[in-house]
Amino acid sequence: MNSLMIKALAFAAVLIIATLVVVKQMNIDLSDPINMITMLGAVAIAALTFGVSAKYVNQMKTDRAEGELTEENWDGIGEYKNELPGGWAYSFLGVLIWAMWYFIAGYPVNAFSQIGMWNEEVKAYNTKFEETHKNADEATLQQMGESVFLVQCAPCHGETGDGLSGKAQDFGSRMSKEQVLYAIQNGSNQLGYPMGAMPPMMAQGADAEAIAEYVAGGMKGEQPAAFAVCSSCHGADGQGNSGMAPNLAVYDEAVVSHTLEHGKKGQIGKMPSFKTMLTPVQQKALAVYIQSLSAN
Amino acid sequence: MFHWLEKNPFLFSVGVFLVIAFAGLVEILPNFAEASRPVVGLKPYTVLELAGKEVYKKDHCIACHSQLIRPFKAETDRYGQYSLSGEYAYDRPFLWGSKRTGPDLHRVGNYRTTDWHENHMWDPKSVVPQSIMPAYQHMFTNIADIDTAYAEALTVKTVFDTPYDTPNGVKLGTLDEAKAAALEEAKAIAADMKNQDVKDAVANGQIPEIVAIIAYLNRLK
Q: What's the pLDDT tens digit per position in A69-116?
A: 888 888 888 888 888 889 999 999 999 999 999 999 988 888 888 899
Q: Cβ distance A267 to A182 under 8 Å? A: yes
B76 and B27 within one domain: no
B67 and B21 within one domain: no
CATH number of the domain that B123 lies in? 1.10.760.10
B173 and B74 within one domain: yes
B40, part of any domain: no
Distance CA(A269)–CA(A206), nearest Å, equals: 26
B98, part of any domain: yes
Q: Beta partners for B170?
A: B164
Q: Which amino acid, one-letter code, is at A156?
A: C
B13 and B108 within one domain: no
B69, part of any domain: yes
B101 and B20 within one domain: no
B165 and B135 within one domain: yes
Q: Cβ distance B75 to B104 under 8 Å? A: yes
* SS3 label, residue A103: helix
Distance CA(B155)–CA(A160), nearest Å, equals: 49
Those residues of chain A whose CB sits closer than 8 Å to some CB in chain B are 114-115, 117-118, 121-122, 125, 151-152, 154-156, 158-159, 164, 167, 269-274, 276-277
B25 and B51 within one domain: no
- Residues in A closer than 8 angstroms to B130, CB to CB, are none
Chain A contact present for B111, CB below 8 A = yes
- Give the residue from A121, A122, A156 with the most B CB atoms within 10 Å of its CB, the best one to mutate: A156
CB pairs under 8 A between A and B: 56
The domain ranges of chain A are 3-61, 138-295
Cβ neighbours for A160, distance < 8 A, ≥ 6 positions apart: A293
Task: Note whether ipTM > 0.90 here.
Answer: no
Q: Cβ contact (<8 Å) for A118 and B76?
A: yes
Total number of domains in chain B: 2
pLDDT tens readout for residues A117-146 = 999 999 999 999 989 988 888 899 999 999
3-state percent breakdown (helix, strand, coil) of chain B, nearest 5: 60, 0, 40
B90, part of any domain: yes
B180, part of any domain: yes
- Give the residue from B27, B31, B76, B77 with the most A CB atoms within 10 Å of its CB, the best one to mutate: B77
pLDDT grade for A9, boundaries at 50, 70 and 90: confident
Task: Measure CA of the first residue to CA of the last residue in chain A; give whole Å.
Answer: 95
Structural domain for B27, as ranges: 3-35
Query: In chain B, whose CA is at the least distance from the CA of A274?
Result: B111
- Give the residue from B166, B144, B164 showing the smallest Cα distance to B154: B164
Question: What are the start-end ranges of the H helices in chain B?
Answer: 3-6, 9-35, 47-58, 73-79, 108-111, 114-122, 146-160, 175-191, 196-203, 209-219
B53 and B110 within one domain: yes
Is residue A296's pLDDT more than 70?
Answer: no
B86 and B188 within one domain: yes
B109 and B140 within one domain: yes
User: Model pTM?
Assistant: 0.75
B93 and B13 within one domain: no
